[in-house]
Amino acid sequence: MLLFVSQEPQARPGPPPGAAAAGLGPAPGMSVCGEAVGAGSLPSELVVHIFSFLAAPDRLRASAACSHWRECLFYPALWPRLRLSLRVSPAERPRLEFLMRKCGWFVRELRVQFAADNYPTGGGGAAAAAGEGAAVAGDGEAPPPLSPRWLDLLRTYLELVLCVLSSVRNNRNLQKLSLFGDISILQQHGTISNTYLGKVDPDGKKIKQIQQLFEEILGNSRQLKWLSCGLMLQIVTPTSLSSLSNPIANTMEHLSLLDNHIPGNTTLITAVELERFVNLRSLALDFCDFTAEMARVLADSNHVPLHRLSLLVHSVSIMHKSLDNMPKDENWQALTRNSTNLRVYIMAFDVKSDDMLRILKPSIPLERIHFDSYVTCVSGAVVDLISRQYDKFLTHFILMNDVIDMSAFPDLSDNRNEDPLVLLAWRCTRLSLLAVHGYTVWAHNLIAIARLRGSDLKVLEVTEESIEFDQGELADQDVDPVHNFIEQVSLGLGRPWHAVMDIELLSVFTEPTRHFYREMQSFSEGI
């Protein structure tokens, strides 16, 4: 389409000589249509219509044409959805304040992801949080000091959250609210302690203000259908959902509350509170909060069928909360009778195999499972159980192990006649995604997996360092084992294939929590 980017009218060919004298054309200085028409003269409705065809970056560039177009840039109809990925940096605040001041009062869908670039050293990272954190939390020792850079990040994070929440507190048109905080910033040694918060928020004023703003948003909402809060530091409290009116709770379609910063055995939602959410189509919770009583509530005939259930199993939560109240197999059977199309997505952070064998009940309609380990490794028995119990449902299987010793990966096929991953590919005929790092995958087994699933296996991501060759394959001087291996896997899949050469390019490994949250959102929307 034609886009006007200048206020200057285009030059038109002049009348023939003598035309003005003969009355055949306009007098000098006059345009054919009267006054010259430029970009600044277009009606606001037309400018907004032009903007509606442009992507957000192009829309911003086009608004530089003139002041009139800049005024039309933030017309509410142009910004029904706002999705922001914010660096936790002071430089973001002025831009965020401007954008939220313009759009916060009318936006219908708001998704904000807080993330930090170039995590500073000296405060630990995700691996420290999951690995060392268990020992620290278990021993009851004081948390180690954070570097000044980490404290600055935490302080900036609180300010950015306040900016976002304060801008939408009175937005009654809000239909979807999704907030995600990067665990690499917020979780140090298993949980953010009051000691850390006390250094950046001595009197707890900012945390209280954040919690009050969140409750105001819920209390003022009139159209909210989707509420998702993942690993956001102390935004949600056990009383937050009580701010929702009954009519809004009754019509809510998605609820996601994932926060392992809650101390002790506190839960963000109870079975009694869940009874108000009779229209939920999708739900995401910490596994330890999803009790047998909750399963009974969702299985009740008064509740619409549940389609998606995402559960986060974290070693920190298991440490502080009991698995004794988790749903039994009969609870899952009752739930699937009421919700015949239910599919489940489980993310397991550093969970012991014995605990996983307790969690994985036969009647769970498990479609996706993601293991991420730093200390404990998944056993072959767990993989074998998954392939036997969920062969009719499983489509996604992710197995990540962030080990320090890259020379000795655990081998799932040890002391077994058949490799568990090959059996998984054989039994689970709907498998479309398989990703492995930090576990030994024998080259001949990977070829077998590719042949078993063929082109139906849309994603096969295995890191180079995870692949091992038999000595017999390496001893064959006539064939290049690596070239032959790649060729055989490619033939099996029906497309060119290569191992993952740089693990840092694999987001499911480098950003497991963010990957889970993004996939959970997509999983929940795909009803």
Residues 6 or more apart whose Cβ sits within 8 Å of residue 76: 106
For 316, half-sphere exposure in the C-beta direction (CA atoms, 13 angstrom radius) is 28
Three-state SS for 271? helix
Global confidence as pTM: 0.84
pLDDT in tens, 64-103: 888 888 888 888 888 888 898 888 888 888 989 988 998 8
Radius of gyration of the chain (CA): 28
Q: What is the pLDDT of residue 141?
A: 52
Q: 110: which 2 tokens?
A: 């708001």
Q: What is the pLDDT of residue 229?
A: 92
* Spatial distance between the Cα atoms of 85 and 506, rounded to a whole number of angstroms: 19
Please check the confidence at residue 296 and state whether its pLDDT lies above 50. yes
Backbone angles phi, psi at 114, to 5 degrees: -95, 125
Please check the confidence at residue 25 and state whether its pLDDT lies above 60. no
229 beta partners = 179, 257
> Distances in Å between the alpha carbon of 355 and those of 286, 339, 513?
15, 26, 20
* Spatial distance between the Cα atoms of 446 and 467, rounded to a whole number of angstroms: 9
Average pLDDT over residues 454-461: 97
pLDDT in tens, 512-524: 888 899 999 999 9
Spatial contact of 220 and 213, defined as CB atoms under 8 Å apart: no
- Cα pseudo-dihedral 407, 413, 419, 425, rounded to 10: -60
Q: What is the pLDDT of residue 194?
A: 60
Spatial contact of 247 and 274, defined as CB atoms under 8 Å apart: no
DSSP state of 399: E
pLDDT in tens, 110-154: 999 887 554 444 433 333 333 333 333 444 455 556 667 777 888
Burial label for 45, CB within 10 Å (0-12, 13-18, 19+), is exposed
Please check the confidence at residue 52 and state whether its pLDDT lies above 80. yes
* Spatial distance between the Cα atoms of 367 and 393, rounded to a whole number of angstroms: 5
Average pLDDT over residues 11-20: 44
Q: What is the pLDDT of residue 6?
A: 32
